[in-house]
Structure 1
Amino acid sequence: MQKLNFPTYPFRFKNSENKVSIFDCIRKKFVILQPEEWVRQHCVLFLINEKGYPKSLINIEKELIVNDLKKRYDIVVFNPNGSIHLIVECKAPSVIINQSTFDQIAQYNRVLMADYLMVTNGLNHYYCKMNFEKECYDFLREIPNYNS
């Protein structure tokens, strides 16, 4: 797999029926290693190891309904009170992040109402803080640490 713009992490891999799987520490199971999954697993460990987010507040690939359509978010980080702190949209490294990527996460956020958004393809990371009053997002240099 391609080197990403994240720190190097010690992942667990398994090979079964000529398919490589990577261990997901949140879902506590091996999942097929696809390019987007490679980015997602790096992002999860980045949030835990670099930003101090507790594993217990992180959720991966759950369904939500947006405009009567079933969608799946990549990563959500909850606040201790159950509200949503952060939504992360992961793309494969070959996918260029553009306006439609931001439109996708903005659609999810109409339902989830997260304080922060992160979009990444593993090479480029974009961070935003929601401004619900003005119905827009403000770009940040980085996502805040859990305790800040």
Structure 2
Amino acid sequence: MQVLNFPAYDFRFKNTENKVYIFDVVRKKFVVLQPEEWVRQHVIHYLIFEKNYPLSLINVEKQLRVNNLKRRYDIVVFEPNGAIQILIECKAPEVSITQITFDQIARYNMQLQSEYLMVTNGLQHFYCKIDHKQEKYTFLENIPDFSR
């Protein structure tokens, strides 16, 4: 797999039926290693090991409804009170981050009301803080570290 713009992490892999799997510490199971999954796993490890978010506050690939359509978010990070703090959209490294990507995460966030957004293809990362009252967002250098 391609080297990404994240620190190096130790991942667990297995080969079954000519497919490579990577262990997802959030879902507690091996999942097929696709380019987007490679990015997702790096983000999860980044949240845990660089930003100090507890594993218990991270959720991966859950369904939500957007305009009566079933969609899946990639990663959310909850606050200890259960509110969503960060919504993260992962794309494969060969997928360019475009306005369409931002529109997608904005639609999801209309439903989820996250305080921060992160969009990444593993090579480029974009971070925003959302002001829901004034319907504005501010680009940031990074997402905040976990704090109690």
TM-score normalized by the length of structure 2: 0.98
Give the aligned partner of residue 2 of structure 1.
Answer: 2
What displacement does 1:136 show?
2.2
Unmatched 5+ residue regions in structure 2?
A: none
Give the % identical residues. Answer: 66
Structure 1: distance between partners of 2:127 and 2:48: 16
- Structure 2 counterpart of 1:96, which letter? S
- Structure 2 counterpart of 1:130, which letter? I
What displacement does 1:86 show?
0.3
Structure 1: distance between partners of 2:104 and 2:89: 8
CA offset digits 1:69-90 (Å, max 9, x no partner)? 0000000000111110000000
Aligned length: 148
Unmatched 5+ residue regions in structure 1?
A: none
Task: Determine helix, strand or coil for the equivalent of 1:96.
Answer: coil
What displacement does 1:104 show?
0.4
CA offset digits 1:56-106 (Å, max 9, x no partner)? 000000000000000000000001111100000000000000101000000
- Residue 95 (structure 2) pairs with residue 90 (structure 1): no
- Structure 2 counterpart of 1:38, which letter? W
- Residue 72 (structure 2) pairs with residue 42 (structure 1): no
- Aligned residue runs from structure 1 range 21-60, under 5 A: 21-60=21-60
Deviates more, 1:95-104 or 1:133-142: 133-142
Structure 2: distance between partners of 1:126 and 1:34: 22
Task: Determine helix, strand or coil for the equivalent of 2:106.
Answer: helix
Task: Determine helix, strand or coil for the equivalent of 2:47.
Answer: helix
- Structure 1 counterpart of 2:20, which letter? V
Structure 1: distance between partners of 2:12 and 2:28: 11
